[in-house]
């Protein structure tokens, strides 16, 4: 499936990512452990993004984009100082603040497709 939607909204500098490696382990009786990568996409990335203190006219298009993908459809996104890849967003939250400003936080998980 081709992905043509690009998340090109500006995110805050505090955005952070985590890489997780999927590994199959076998422990032997003498304390020896054998490890091997689990599959061809054995590492995946997860990013916690923040869009802080923005007015509603900036937050609404971001929410509309994420809602349109509904946690199931992948989109293209380039993490800070990174390479563009396929991601999904299954959850986001918003925190209203003073003077009509809102902070939106979301979790982007790397998506793999054939």
49 pLDDT band, cuts 50/70/90, is very high
pTM listed for this prediction: 0.82
Q: Is the pLDDT of residue 52 over 50?
A: yes
SS3 category, 62 = helix
Residue 74: per-residue pLDDT: 95
37 or 14, which is more confident? 37
Domains of the chain: 6-110 (2.40.30)
pLDDT tens digits along 53-101: 999 999 999 999 999 999 999 999 999 888 999 999 999 999 998 888 9
Residue 1: per-residue pLDDT: 47
> Is the separation of the CB atoms in 51 and 62 below 8 Å?
yes
Number of helices (H), then strands (E), belonging to the chain: the values are 1, 7
């Amino acid at each position: 499936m081709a992905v043509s939607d690009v998340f090109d909204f500006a995110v805050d500098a505090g955005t952070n990512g985590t890489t997780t490696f999927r590994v199959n382990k076998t422990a032997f009786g003498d304390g020896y452990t054998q490890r091997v990568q689990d599959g061809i996409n054995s590492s995946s990335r997860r990013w916690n993004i923040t869009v802080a203190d923005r007015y509603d006219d900036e937050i609404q298009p971001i929410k509309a984009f994420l809602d349109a993908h509904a946690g199931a459809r992948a989109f293209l996104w380039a993490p800070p100082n990174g390479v563009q890849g396929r991601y999904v967003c299954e959850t986001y939250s918003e925190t209203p603040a003073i003077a009509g400003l809102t902070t939106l936080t979301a979790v982007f998980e790397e998506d793999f497709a054939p």
